Amino acid sequence: MSGSEALLGVPMHVRDSSQREASDNVASVNRSADFERLALPLLPSLYNHASWLTRNHAEAEDLVQETFSKALRAFDSFQESTNFKAWIIRILRNTFLTSRTGIATSRTVFLEDHPHVLDTTDASPTPEDNLIRLDNQAALQRALEQLEAPLREALLLCDVEEVKYKDIALILDIPIGTVMSRISRARRALRQLLQPQLGESL
Amino acid sequence: MTQAIEHLNPDTLSAFIDGELPDGEQTAIEQHLAGCHACALRVLSATQLKAATARAGRRFAPSPEALARLTAQVRQQPQATARIHSMRRLAWVGLAAALLLAVSLIGWQQIRKTNSLSAELLDQHLSTLSSGATPQVISTDRHTVKPWFQGRLPFSFNLPDAQALPPDTTLKGANLTYLKGQPAALLLFTIHKHQVSVFVTQRSSGPNLIALPSVRSGFTIDSAATHDLQIVAVSDVNPADLDALVAVLAKAQSSS
């Protein structure tokens, strides 16, 4: 050891600090490589979700861009045990909420589970359930557009992004029970929206 | 087998197809479905809706350009900061270059100024050489020359006695002139028959005559500065003699 040190002719403390610096650099490079590895595959999802939130291509791109830069800055606080997708979607959503469109959207009052909706919790299967034809993509997209934003958001996170309820609760800052009821309500609303359209086309 | 569970309520059904129910509940529902055709149909329908929603919800894709921009943003995060650094460095280099350019411009203007000034001095000197030119005041007497400038110049200067001048150096006369728009005394001397023009200007308002080249077009330019005057001599006489005259003139200013 001391031989190699003498051979290198570099004082120990100098080499120590330069090695530490080098390893810090490696760590930060690894860190950004980690970020790239985690974030890049989510780009289509983030863009899609951003588009559903903003309903505008330019705004969606800006939103994703801002999300990436915020996420990278906050990446040190990200813990490996947490779901990265939920973590970054949460950033996306919070960024959206502080945007002009987001603020305008959040002004709309959403009533959580108002009673007459609950009244329709009809346990018996209806013939319509089986009549709904889901091959009409355009009709379903229109129905999704007509959903109240909080219902649509929860449903899209569940069905499109395949985020678990507990993570949706984290993203939307609501209790898990509320996530469950919103998704259920969103599906019932979709059925109702789809039926008359299909009735016309049938 | 009693069916402990009623028909599925929508929330339970929804959570069931999402696989979000606790294991025990999940198993119980599966048992119910095995015996309840209606609920099984609803589950099937709900699963189909979920799949259709997944398809319909994947609706927006970024344009190739937007995708490229966003991909580059994620890929080049570390490089992006590096680019900011290099941009910063580039900005400093640019600033340094601009400073150098400004300094060199000032220097160049200085050279141009002194060049044009020495040309002006030389022109004035040459015009005194022409045969027809007679000084405005023709006198070898310093007591005539000096008072003549009173009221003509915004400053005064001393002239040494004829005896104090270097050997074979004679005051021939004087002119009121202007250098770069500033009034100046032009004293005409001869040293060994060589014509000498000596310009006396105020240091505070006159052009800087000190940084002039010492030789121009074969003429020697010599200068000295006193507390508030500048003295510049132009002649084709040998530099040592010119220097002696300038030195005497400069000394005369401090002796008063």
Judging contacts by C-beta atoms under 8 Å, the chain B residues touching residue A188 are 10
Distance from CA of B62 to the nearest CA of A (A): 7
B26 chain-A contacts, CB cut-off 8 A: none
Residue A6 has pLDDT above 60, yes or no: no
Q: Give CB contacts under 8 A, 24+ apart, made by A193-196.
A: A193/A142, A193/A143, A193/A146, A193/A147, A194/A132, A194/A134, A194/A139, A194/A140, A194/A143, A195/A128, A195/A131, A195/A132
A168: which chain B residues are within 8 Å (Cβ-Cβ)?
Answer: none
> Residue-wise pLDDT tens for chain B (256 aa)?
444 557 888 999 999 999 999 999 999 999 999 998 888 888 988 998 999 999 999 999 999 999 999 999 988 755 444 444 445 555 666 667 777 667 766 766 666 666 777 777 888 887 777 656 677 888 778 888 888 888 788 888 888 888 888 888 888 888 888 887 788 889 999 898 888 999 998 887 766 766 676 777 778 888 888 888 888 899 888 888 898 999 888 888 876 5
Name the β-bridge partners of B202.
B229
Q: Name the band, by pLDDT with cuts 50, 70 and 90, for residue A9.
A: very low
pLDDT band with cut points at 50, 70 and 90 for residue A115: very low
Counted across chains A and B, CB pairs separated by less than 8 A come out at 137
Q: What is the DSSP string of B128-139?
A: HHSTT---SEE-
Q: Which of residues 43-72 of A touch B (CB under 8 A)?
A: 43-44, 47-48, 51-52, 57, 60-61, 64-65, 68-69, 72
Contacts of B44 (CB under 8 A, 6+ apart): none
According to the model, what pLDDT value does residue B157 have?
87
Query: Most A CBs within 10 Å: which of B7, B8, B77, B79, as the mutation test of the A interface?
Result: B77
Q: Would you list the DSSP string of A142-192?
A: HHHHHS-HHHHHHHIIIIIS---HHHHHHHHTS-HHHHHHHHHHHHHHHHH
Nearest CA in chain A to B49: A134
- In this complex, which of A61, A123, A180 lies closest to B70 when CB atoms are compared? A61
| Record: contact B61-A180, CB cut-off 8 A | no
User: In whole angstroms, what is the distance from residue A39 CA to residue A33 CA?
Assistant: 10
Tell me the HSE value of A178 on the side-chain side, using a 13 A CA sphere.
Answer: 16
Sole residue written with tokens 């309820």: A165
Candidate from B20, B57, B66 with C-beta closest to A159? B57
CA distance B254 to B247: 11
If you measure CA to CA, which chain B residue comes closest to A113? B11
Q: Do B49 and A32 touch (CB under 8 A)?
A: no
Q: What is the pLDDT of residue A25?
A: 58
Half-sphere exposure (CA, 13 Å, Cβ side) for A162? 7
Q: Does the beta-carbon distance from A124 to B38 stay under 8 Å?
A: yes
Cα gap A60→A96, rounded to integer Å:
9
Interface check A155 vs B, CB under 8 A: yes
Q: What share of chain B is helix, strand, coil (3-state, %, to 5)?
A: 50, 20, 30
Q: Select the residue from B5, B14, B84 to test the A interface by mutation, using most A Cβ atoms within 10 A.
A: B14
Count of H helices and E strands in chain A?
Answer: 12, 0
Chain B nearest-CA distance from A47, in A, is: 7
Q: How far is A121 from chain B (nearest CA, A)?
A: 6
DSSP state of B76: T
Residue B139's CB: how many other CB atoms inside 10 A?
15
Residue of A48, A135, A187 lying closest to B58 (CB–CB): A48
Give residue A79's region: left, alpha or beta (phi > 0; psi -120 to 50): beta
Reading the block at residue B199, the tokens are 């310009």
Closest in B38, B66, B74 to A36, CB measured: B74
pLDDT tens for each residue of B195-226: 899 999 888 776 676 667 677 777 888 888 88
Of A32, A40, A140, the CB nearest to B71: A40
pLDDT, residue A114, reads 56
Q: How far apart are CA B64 and CA B181, in angstroms?
A: 68
CB contact under 8 A, A130 and B45: yes
Judge whether residue A2 has pLDDT over 60: no
What b/e string do you get for B105-115 counting C-beta neighbours within 10 Å, with b at 16 or more? eeeeeeeeebe
SS3 track for A2-50? HHHHHHHCCCHHHHHHHHHHHHHHHHHHHHHHHHHHHHHHHHHHHHHHH
